[in-house]
Amino acid sequence: PFKGQVLNQIAAYMLKATSDICPNWLLDTPAPNVAIGKKCTPFKIEMVVRGNLVGHAWRTYQAGGRVLCGVALPDGLNENDYFPTPIITPSTKASEGHDEDISKENIIAQDLATAEDWAILEKYALALFQRGKEIAAKQGLILVDTKYEFGKIGDTIYLMDEIHTPDSSRYFYVDGFEERQIKKEKQKQLSKEFVREWLIENNFMGKEGQTVPHMSEEWIDTISKRYIELYEQVIGEKFNPEKLSDEATYNLVAASLAKLN
């Protein structure tokens, strides 16, 4: 409940807050769950930016890997430690199945982006991540990692999709971060990772033949509250749940399209 509104409104907020960095697709958000934007031809890659050693990067590192997507990882890091500088570890944007890690060199070799376009994508992704960290820091949060998607209209590159939401990003709380690192304790985070962990604990990893486990009403309510918590922490404003009828939503969207046209 309210996940769509949370994601849509965080994304709109962040797209407006980064519109000076690069062009983006968003034109209007006429209803809580609706965004209207420009249709782009997408790059079939995700620009994953990481500021800390966590998640997939940590699992690779823990297994002994010191190169991820062609990027060298320094020795001597613990889980959740900061990288010396943020790194980009791209993945393919698969039409079917799971996305896969890919290096900058292979992206260019496979013509997923030209060298000229890659230079722009890299510049945009790092600048967006820096802005995201600044916004998060004002709210007592650390933007740990995230992903961006880009596309083109003509020769112009646009930022697409949602950004800096719990579905595309991971946040840690600043308060207590250093103490938890020293004690090698689990970091307090805001993201959808807690849902993924629950699914794995209940033997679901999205593999063929597996069935999504039943979610109790209490667990669904917990998930909803965690998403709302992230909204309020990231945006710094109280979440106002809105339930509009289909007819009311349709009328708002129609009015917006008429204005845009």
pLDDT of residue 113: 97
Q: Which pLDDT belongs to residue 82?
A: 98
Return mean pLDDT, the chain: 94
- Separation of alpha carbons 148 and 39, rounded Å: 16
**Quick one: three-class SS letters along the chain?**
CCHHHHHHHHHHHHHHHCCCCCCECEEEEEECCEEEECCCEECCEEEEEEEECCHHHHHHHHCCCCEECCEECCCCCCCCCEEEEEEECCEECCCCCCCCECCHHHHHHCCCCCHHHHHHHHHHHHHHHHHHHHHHHHCCEEEEEEEEEEEEECCEEEEECCCCCCCCEEEEECCCHHHHHHCCCCCCEECCHHHHHHHHHCCCCCCCCCCCCCCCHHHHHHHHHHHHHHHHHHHCCCCCCCCCCHHHHHHHHHHHHHHHC
Q: Which of 82, 111, 81, 107 has the alpha carbon at shortest distance from 92?
A: 107
Q: Do residues 142 and 52 lie in contact, with contact meaning Cβ atoms separated by under 8 Å? A: yes
The pTM assigned to this predicted structure is 0.91
Query: What is the arithmetic mean of pLDDT over 156-165?
Result: 96
Tens digits of residue pLDDT in 61-112: 999 999 999 999 999 999 999 999 999 999 998 766 667 999 999 999 999 9
Query: Which pLDDT does position 194 carry in this prediction?
Result: 84
- For residues 128-141, give the mean pLDDT: 96
* Number of residues in the chain: 261
Q: Which amino acid is at 66?
A: R
Residue in this structure with the two tokens 């699992």, named with its chain if needed: 59
The proportion of the chain whose per-residue pLDDT surpasses 90, expressed as a percent, equals: 85
Q: What is the pLDDT of residues 175-216, one digit of tens each?
A: 999 999 999 999 988 878 888 889 989 999 888 889 999 999
Residue 230 confidence class, pLDDT cut points 50, 70, 90: confident
Kindly tell me the burial class for residue 112, based on how many C-beta atoms sit within 10 Å of its own C-beta (0-12, 13-18, 19 or more).
middle
CA separation for the pair 61, 75 (Å, rounded)? 9
